[in-house]
Structure 1
């Protein structure tokens, strides 16, 4: 993620800020510029931009910004929408009458905005799903589970459902331990489930893409229900680390893709933050990797260099966490098989998603 600054006092601000902590000037994220903007309130609904690129232009905070303090994204004043591009993707919110649901909603939207920021950088921002038959749009349902009505996190036909309890740290940690996972975060859920969504989009747009997909991930036509049943009954295959990024990835090719896709997004976001922060790593031993950026990792032309940078950064992050008595920030091993899958994902985005001519189908915008 980029480094943002207040245009009023020039101090650093952050992606989730609503005001500058140095000068108290109002802040809001502007999708069109992919940056945090600085504003002066004109009236109850309108804010005036203090940014050099659109100084004096009027904007309005998202409805969920003004009324629920759930969001911090801005909309141009003449836009008929009252919700920002992030909040328009949310179809169902948790029942706000239930205990802690507002807090859960806040955490879910915060993670969703972080996920969406990276899709903007990759030029694959999803648009809201128009109706149930819209195969290219996306919507999110955030549901509270109950003893009589459990909620399963998952994706189906462009709708991603998240159990709002995943925003509860204690619940999520218990689930992580019960499932034998070494990583489980709200942001990770968004990235994993989005993998299923983008797989469907790619399959509809480019069915010939499946041939190479099957070479790396296997045949997705295998019975999904039976595959999951076998996985939960028998566990992962022996020596799964040689071929998969996680235990769950070996359950079915769809899950392998979604898990690997999520890890690609983890890499890109973390490396992009290091790139914009000007971080570099000098190896103290000749066999250790170092990290020097010669280009942005987003859409990098030399992905092998990007992978080398990732090895250096993740190794250092894990070492720093251990120094603080924390678990590894990136508790995974990238085998040669997994690296090939990551290369395939990068090629897919470079050759397909980043080309404007591939962003439309049947005269409708895809992303």
Structure 2
């Protein structure tokens, strides 16, 4: 995402900020205005960058547990912010290791929700669920068996609009161990959320629309293939499948549902990465040589842009940022490639999102375009 300034002193902030590191004023992110608000010394009214007051209060999860920096409008019928109101189950906070892990999970979830809101996607809670409108909820569960014996009893996944996350995924060492064991190039909390919410939006936007379902099957395949058998066959293949040209990841080859969820996650990876690059007005000089590039700059809004613009920027920027990471001895930022077949699937997701957001097609909202 693009960086946000402190509404008081204009210093750029990390999205998780609660106190400005420069002016020390209390901060909160207001999803309704898509910006940070501040409380002056001794003040009780939240104000924006223009000094205008806003009728908001801090999220109840900040008051009770200190795990959220979002604000809630006083006219809303819930004490929870746009992200926290979707929680159905929070973990057992009496276990000493749980609160800091839950805080990491909530931080990743808020980043995902920021993207979903910015894209204009529907976000119903389970309380708002109705015929053909699936609500979204989260169960964050502490799993003693996984913690003490390495034998997980809680499976991270999605079922009927409920995303379950085993709290052990917030343990960096354990998550890295699982990444290596699964042969994955990338495994993060944010990646989990983006993948699992992809399953939700398949059920919310594709399964209930015959035309979308037909278009989905043309690209991703027949989702009525037995899921359990497909997963068993996938893991039995042991990585022998050829997947890099047609699928964004090896896991995407398992079943059309997983292909869609992986593609949806990568679409979110792309738009947020490019929004950050554009927000800092970063520019890249032309690449020399026959495989060169004429230069790159994100002078548009990635959240509403057509796929060809996203892909044209993501390719050179991912190479450059992967190189930066390698300079620090870190894994590649984006260890994937965008073939024509993968880009076609991302284009399907982009058009699906645009339709759900009320745009005729991706790129149809020029008034939101970023200057560059």
Q: Give TM-score scaled by structure 2 length.
A: 0.89
Residues 236 and 250, structure 1, Cα contact 8 Å, conserved in 2: no
Measure the CA separation in 2 of the matches of 1:236 and 1:216. 22
Measure the CA separation in 2 of the matches of 1:54 and 1:159. 40
Counterpart in 2 of 1:323? 327
C-alpha distance after superposition, 1:142-198 (max 9, x if no partner): 001132871100000010000111000011001101111110000000000011000
- Deviation of 1:268 after TM superposition, in Å, equals 0.5
- Deviation of 1:204 after TM superposition, in Å, equals 4.3
Residues 129 and 135, structure 2, Cα contact 8 Å, conserved in 1: no
Measure the CA separation in 2 of the matches of 1:75 and 1:269. 24
Residues 119 and 357, structure 2, Cα contact 8 Å, conserved in 1: yes
- Deviation of 1:238 after TM superposition, in Å, equals 2.9
Q: Secondary structure at the match of 1:81?
A: coil
Alignment root-mean-square deviation, CA: 2.1
Measure the CA separation in 2 of the matches of 1:228 and 1:12. 45
Q: Secondary structure at the match of 1:240?
A: coil
- 5 Å-filtered alignment, 1:124-273, equals 124-130=121-127, 135-147=133-145, 150-236=153-239, 238-273=241-276
Measure the CA separation in 2 of the matches of 1:151 and 1:219. 28
Q: Give TM-score scaled by structure 1 length.
A: 0.91
Measure the CA separation in 1 of the matches of 2:92 and 2:320. 41
C-alpha distance after superposition, 1:306-325 (max 9, x if no partner): 21110011000111111111
- Deviation of 1:276 after TM superposition, in Å, equals 1.3
2:304 to 289, 299, 302: 299
Asked whether 1:15 is paired with 2:15, we answer: yes
Q: Secondary structure at the match of 1:155?
A: strand
Measure the CA separation in 2 of the matches of 1:131 and 1:13. 34
Q: Structure 2 unaligned runs (5+)?
A: 146-150, 361-372
Asked whether 1:355 is paired with 2:328, we answer: no
Residues 296 and 313, structure 2, Cα contact 8 Å, conserved in 1: yes
Deviates further, 311-320 or 3-12: 3-12
C-alpha distance after superposition, 1:68-117 (max 9, x if no partner): 11000111234342211111111111111123100111000000000000
Q: Cα gap change, 1:24/1:52 in structure 2, threshold over 3 Å: closer, same or farther? A: closer
Q: Cα gap change, 1:212/1:237 in structure 2, threshold over 3 Å: closer, same or farther? A: farther
Measure the CA separation in 2 of the matches of 1:137 and 1:4. 30
- Deviation of 1:344 after TM superposition, in Å, equals 1.4
Counterpart in 1 of 2:94? 97
